[in-house]
Amino acid sequence: MSGINTFLLGCSKIIADPMILVLILLGVFMGVVFGSIPGLTGALGISLILPFTYKITAEYGLSVLIAIYVGSIAGGLISAILLNIPGTPSSLVTCFDGAPMAKKSPGKALVLGTFSSLIGGLVGGFAMILLSGPLATFALQFGYWEYFAMGIMGLCIVVSLVGKDMLKGYMSACIGLLIGMVGTDSVSTVTRFTYGFWQLNGGFSTLPVLMGLFALTEIMVCMRTINQRTERLTLDRVPMFPKKEWLKGTGKTMVTSSLIGTCVGILPGVGQTTASLLAYTQAKQTSKHPEKFGTGCEEGVVASEAANNAVCGGALIPMMAIGIPGDVITSILLGALVLHGLQPGALLFNSKPDVVGVIFAAYIVANIVMYLMMLGLMKGFVQMLRIPLNLLYPIILCACMVGAIVTNNRVFDAGVLIAFGLIGYFLVNNDYPIPPLVLGFVLSGTIEKNFRTAMIATNGSFLPLFQRPIALILLAVGILMAFLPTLRNLKNKKKKASA
């Protein structure tokens, strides 16, 4: 049975059983709430709901879990745009342009972000429905060399994130790489940089680090001016559809970012943050006006949100087709499938097309529900800006603490959050950009681990790398990305000289 037929079968099941729709509505709502509160993430929401799905049918359980997943990734943009604090780690790239844009027009930023989320989600979803099989096979082509090459490509794009002071940008990236090295080395099982804290044996968890660097730092920076009279953001109307002039010139970014997101999603263990960083830099590098990025540029918001939502659809592909999850949340979903006695993989598509269909349909429906719900509720969310900051910040601080503690159910991570908040504050105060640090932190594990695995498998020889076309292409793209700004500057200089 082809993907479309399965999808239609799922749609008919949802129409026949309105309970599924109700569950999707509830799930999306819960997801948006968890996503929009800094510190609380979709993964947390899903782990909380997972035990309840033991008792209900697989169709119900998976629908509600997928709805939470979709809602949470999209919900992160609300606080990213309105408060410059990412609601989930995956929406931190949305802060770069979303927050400056919101200074001028919060309504525009929110609608544009939500619309890009919808498009990204749908692109990822239809990729899943139409191409599950071939795409999963593509994911299997990725071995250690490919992951290594992708990590290096990711590091190359740091060039466009370093900001004005190149040296400080690169230093920040190096700090990120070092932070990523803390913990037990998976190849030699030696613990590194833990300084006797056994809690660090597993390395730093992503959430407390990123929330400390972004949320805590932002709060501390804002506290300096909290008693000064600042101009309030003017709240404009939030239309249901983005105006045409807002979308002008973002079509290409929308499509490429969605595709980047889908592809990254398919690859196990890469994740939303990397996807949105890649899409954002790609958009910036190929843009006609890269200097506008970071000042509230439409493409910046579009790139980040389209990419991180496309990851969801992408990540479901290998989970369903070969039983290998693409990110944290899909690995929980995989557990939910197994709980109901459903073994993911090629067999599932033939033996239980109805369940697969419901998963497909629930994902697409959840995306549409997410769009309508987010914009419907926007009026309420925008009111958040009316709350005085001296009331709002303590609440957010509490939410971050709770989020940090529950990532691993221990208080140690709250300390990590505070420590990284202080580090972030110090860095920001001294004009070190944070994004390169995040990039380094997120990628260092991937690069190192895959490189060392490759070295073991090939007896220390680099040569097999040259037999891997995908890896070579990725490396070439990375190098191109790294030197593109320099080349462009040279060209501009020549032009100026000749003019």
Partner 1 sequence: MKKFFALLLTLCMLLTLAACSGSNQAKTDNTPAVSQTEKPTEAAATAPAQTGIVAPDGYPDDTVTMIVSYAAGAGSDLLARALAQYIDFGDETMVCTNITGGSGTIGMMECYHADPDGLTMCLALPESYAVQILNGSLQDDLFDNLIMVASPVYDVDTISVRAESPYQTLDDLLAYAKDHPGEVTVAGVGSGLNKWMVIDLMQKTGVELKYVPYSDANETRAAVLGGQADVLFSQACESKPYYDSKEMTVLAVAADERVSFLSDVPTFKEKGFEFVAGIHRGFAVTPGTPDEIVDYLEAKIKEVYDNPEFIDYMNNTLGFNTVWTGHDAYEALSLELVDTFKPLLEVAANY
Note the residues at the interface with partner 1 (CB under 8 A): 46-47, 50-51, 54, 139-144, 183-184, 186-189, 191, 198-199, 201-203, 205, 268-269, 318, 322-325, 328, 331-336, 338-339, 341, 343-347, 408-410, 449, 453, 456-457
Q: Which is nearer to partner 1, 36 or 330 (CB)?
A: 330
Residue where the block lists tokens 């990628």: 443
Q: Which of 381, 262, 388, 385 lies closest to 327, judged by CA? A: 262
Q: Which is nearer to partner 1, 347 or 398 (CB)?
A: 347
Shortest Å, Cβ 33 to partner 1: 20
Whole-angstrom distance, CA of residue 302 vs CA of residue 247: 9
Dump strand ranges (E) for 107-212: 183-184, 191-192
Q: Which is nearer to partner 1, 373 or 404 (CB)?
A: 404
Give the tokens for residue 47: 């782990």
Shortest Å, Cβ 407 to partner 1: 9
Q: Is 192 helix (H, G, I), strand (E, B) or coil?
A: strand
Give the tokens for residue 475: 């490396």
Q: Which is nearer to partner 1, 109 or 324 (CB)?
A: 324
The answer to whether 334 touches 46, Cβ cutoff 8 Å, is no
Q: Which is nearer to partner 1, 188 or 430 (CB)?
A: 188
Q: Which is nearer to partner 1, 12 or 408 (CB)?
A: 408
Give the tokens for residue 337: 């499938």
Q: Which is nearer to partner 1, 456 or 476 (CB)?
A: 456
Q: Which residues contact 389 (CB under 8 A, 6 or more apart)?
A: 222, 226
Shortest Å, Cβ 332 to partner 1: 4
Shortest Å, Cβ 51 to partner 1: 7
Q: Which is nearer to partner 1, 309 or 450 (CB)?
A: 450
Instruction: For Cα atoms 113, 115, 116, give the angle at the middle one, nearest 5 degrees.
Output: 65
Whole-angstrom distance, CA of residue 375 vs CA of residue 359: 24
Whole-angstrom distance, CA of residue 475 vs CA of residue 446: 15
Q: Which is nearer to partner 1, 302 or 328 (CB)?
A: 328
Shortest Å, Cβ 47 to partner 1: 5
Shortest Å, Cβ 249 to partner 1: 39
End-to-end CA distance of the chain: 62
Q: Which is nearer to partner 1, 254 or 336 (CB)?
A: 336
Q: Which of 443, 466, 436 lies closest to 454, judged by CA? A: 466
Q: Which is nearer to partner 1, 202 or 376 (CB)?
A: 202
Orientation of helix 106-140 relative to helix 298-322, angle to 10° = 30
Shortest Å, Cβ 457 to partner 1: 5
Q: Which is nearer to partner 1, 279 or 337 (CB)?
A: 337
How many CB atoms sit inside 10 A of residue 479's CB? 13
Q: Which residues contact 215 (CB under 8 A, 6 or more apart)?
A: 38, 39, 85, 86, 396, 397, 400, 421
Whole-angstrom distance, CA of residue 428 vs CA of residue 421: 10
Half-sphere exposure of 360 (CA within 13 A, CB side): 27
Shortest Å, Cβ 268 to partner 1: 6
Whole-angstrom distance, CA of residue 39 vs CA of residue 43: 11
Strand partners of residue 374: none
Shortest Å, Cβ 4 to partner 1: 23
Whole-angstrom distance, CA of residue 377 vs CA of residue 396: 20
Shortest Å, Cβ 346 to partner 1: 6
Helices (H), 194-297: 206-211, 217-223, 244-247, 251-266, 272-286
- Residues composing the chain: 499
Instruction: For Cα atoms 68, 69, 72, give the angle at the middle one, nearest 5 degrees.
Output: 80
Q: Which residues contact 455 (CB under 8 A, 6 or more apart)?
A: none
Shortest Å, Cβ 189 to partner 1: 5
Shortest Å, Cβ 205 to partner 1: 7
